[in-house]
Structures are given as C-alpha cells and as structure tokens.
Amino acid sequence: MIDAGRDLLKRMLQAPRHSQPDHLNAAFAAYHLEDYALTVSEWEVASGNGKPGGPRELRADAALAAAHADRKLGRVEASDVILDEWERRVSSRIEDNPRPEPYLWYRHASVATIRGDRAAALRHIQRAIDEGWRQHWRPHVEPALAELRDDRDFQAMMSGLETRMRVSCANNSPTTKPCGRNGVAERQHNPVHAPSRTARQRRRLKRSRHTVPPFHLQPQPGDPHMKIQSLGHVVIKVRNIEKSTEFYSGLLGLPVVAQNEKPKMAFFSLGNHHDFAVMEVGEDAEGTTGKQVGLAHVAFKVGDDLDALREAKSHLEGAGVQSAPVDHEVTKSLYFSDPDGNQVELYVDASDAWREEPQRVAQSGPLAL
C-alpha cells in the first residue's frame, strides 16, 4: 500500500466515532492496516445493537474484514458466524432477483476465500465476470483475496477480463454497454443465467444492446470536429486538502490513489488512473456563490435502486450532512455541499427512457425518500 493510502487510513482511525458508519469505517481502515484486533473490536461496536447502519457496501466490506480478521486471530467460530450470515444474505438477494447484481457473486468469492475454499472462490469470480462484474482492481487491494493472487487460473481470469474490456470499449461492441466511468465497457448479463426475465426486461435489454445515438449525434463523413472518447476526470478547488480528503474519502468512500505537494492535491479513483481530484488553494480563498461562473456540481453514482439512495441519505445524515432529494426521472438524486460549498450529487439510475428520448434527462421534480 502506498504511504499516502496508509496515512489516510490512519487519519480515519483518528477521527471521532459517533455513529455506526463511523465504526464500520474504522473497522475497514484498521483491517487494511493489519490491526486485526481493532478491526474486530470496531465491528463488534458497530453491530452490537443488531444490524449495523450505513451504506450496504460499507457494511459488507466491514463484515468481511471482521470475518477475515477473526480468522487471522484464530477465532474461526466467530468468523464463521459472520460468514454464515452474510452468505445467507447474498444467497437470498441472488435468489430473489432474476438478474442479480454481478458483484454479489464476487461477495460469494470473498466468503469462499476466507473459508479457504479456493476452488469455490474461483468459480464465483468466473460467474461474476460472466454476469458483468468489471472491478478487476479489487482483488489486488483486498487482503481477504491475497491468497488468490498467485493462482494461475485467477491471474488468467483477471488478465482476460482487463483485455476483454479494453477491446470491447475500443470497438464499441453491440454486446456491451457504453464505456463507463471506469473507462471500460461493462458486459451485459448472459441470458443463459437469467431465464426468468419478463417480456419488458427482454425488450429493455434488446434496446440497450442495439440502440445507437440519434443521427445528429453520430459522426458524419468529413466532420471537422475532434472526437472526444470519454470524460476523463474532474478537479475542483478546495481550501484545505486534509478536510476535503476526509470528506470525499472518509465520508463518501472514494479511494485515494495519489497525492501531490506542490500544488497540494489528492487524486481519487473509481477504476481509472484517477477520476476525481481536489486541489488546495488556501484558507483565504473566496467561497462559491450562485452567480459564480464555474462548475455547478459533480455527480457520483451509488446504485440502481431507491434503497441505495436511502442508505446514502442515512449515511450523510449520520455525519451531519443534510441533502436535498430531486427526481430527474432517469435518475433519482441527492444534492449537498462539501466543506467548501462545492455542490455534490449522489444518484441512482432509474430509467433508460433517455436512450430513445435524450431530452428526458432534463426533467426535475420533488422526490420523497
């Protein structure tokens, strides 16, 4: 782990803990710093009153961290209790959904790896890849999957996945979704594994595979304009780099991948070399105003359903951050400010109507959560 990442994790442990999500973050940070006793302690505090609060992904990360930490401390029975519960939850979500999210199979792989079942872990990772999972960087940074990294089959899976995504993105294959925020293409779910799709789901999938941009958005012969391939990253100005790093990484969960001293900057990644960054301009910098020219807001996707948005809202409120829900039809969103007044949006995708009617992205209305 790079020194900047370790420093951030240490700061996360030094931060005051007033809520269950705070203790979950502390458990996750302690785990990556290999302080397994503290990992277990923070998890027990977070889950002491039943199901811990906070975003679903954070709960899952902290739970698996605690289970692996218990294993490291020789507490196999305590580890199995956590693993049995989370394996039951993941299996239930897969059974209840005709098209389960691909990362659920990755969760199964994590559980199998902690239990020491390498063969099952590899099967689940392959199933995750078949279903569209694309976060090939995760197994390389998560301690629980360290034992898989020297496995030739695992290395071949990851290498093939990275190559496939790059080629699909470059070729704009009709069997992939458009290149995403990570700079790679996401495979559509394999129909063989989803026999129970409804007719409406099949129509939507067919449109998403073969829809092309409206004619006026397609490159025309002899078009003199340069071709932009994708949005690369966004950099915003902040007064204090430490406060902003704590906000975007400690609260919102964006991983820090690099830092710079002159000028002071922190770089965050969601799978690309970096997707977002903050640059310190000093405590005496002028604040944002409604009439100021510049960036209006930066948006981050947190899921595909309202439950994910509700969890995000609860997480923000637990940290004392108030947010405003807005219904954009194609997305459901939360708007709030960072420590310097920069506007941030968290959203979930809600409709693909924009594929046939691009103007639908301009809708706004009240949203009750």
Q: Could you read off the pLDDT of 92-132 as tens digits, one per residue?
A: 888 888 778 888 888 889 999 999 999 999 999 888 888 88
- Could you give the CA distance from residue 103 to residue 189 in angstroms, rounded to a whole number? 12
Please give the structure tokens belonging to residue 138: 């995760």
- Burial string for 57-71 (b: 16+ CB within 10 Å, else e) reads ebbbbbbbbbbbbbb
C-alpha–C-alpha distance, residues 182 and 300, integer Å:
12
Eight-state DSSP code of residue 72: H
Q: How many residues does the chain have?
A: 369
Sequence-separated (6 or more) residues with CB below 8 Å from residue 318: 18, 19, 20, 21, 22, 53, 54
Which pTM was predicted? 0.46
Class of domain 3-209 as given by CATH: mainly alpha
Q: Are 338 and 247 in contact (CB under 8 A)?
A: yes
- Amino acid 314: pLDDT: 93
Q: Report whether 369 contacts 310 (CB < 8 A).
A: yes
d(CA 364, CA 327): 5
Which residue's entry shows tokens 């559509």? Answer: 188
Question: In degrees to the nearest 10, what's the CA dihedral of 240, 243, 247, 253?
Answer: 100
Q: Which sign does the torsion angle of CA 323, 178, 218, 203 carry?
A: negative
Helix, strand or coil, per DSSP, at residue 366 = strand
β-strand pairing of 256-260 with 265-268: antiparallel
* CATH 3.10.180.10 domain residues, the chain: 231-285, 289-369
Where the chain has pLDDT below 50, the residues are 1, 171-178, 180-197, 201-218
Backbone φ and ψ for 82, nearest 5 degrees, come out as -65, -45
**Is-contact 329 353, C-beta < 8 A?**
yes
Query: In the block, which residue shows the tokens 């997480």?
Result: 315
CATH topology (fold) of 231-285: 2,3-Dihydroxybiphenyl 1,2-Dioxygenase; domain 1 (3.10.180)
Class of CATH domain 289-369: alpha beta
Q: Give the residue from 269, 263, 264 showing the smallest Cα distance to 241.
A: 264
Q: What's the pLDDT tens digit per position in 61-89? A: 888 899 999 999 999 999 999 999 888 88
> What is the distance between the terminal CA atoms of the chain, rounded to a whole angstrom?
39
Segment holding 7, helix H or strand E: helix 3-14
Q: Give the whole-angstrom CA distance, residue 179 versus residue 204.
A: 18
Q: Which residues pair with 279 in a beta bridge?
A: 237, 265
Pairing relationship of beta strands 298-303 and 343-349 according to DSSP bridges: parallel
Residue in this structure with the two tokens 């899976």, named with its chain if needed: 157
8 Å CB contact between 250 and 25: yes
- Outline which parts of the chain fall under CATH 1.25.40: 3-209
Strand bridging mode 234-238 / 324-327: unpaired
Q: Is the dihedral of CA 155, 136, 103, 11 positive or negative?
A: positive
Q: Check: CB of residue 271 under 8 Å from CB of residue 232.
A: no
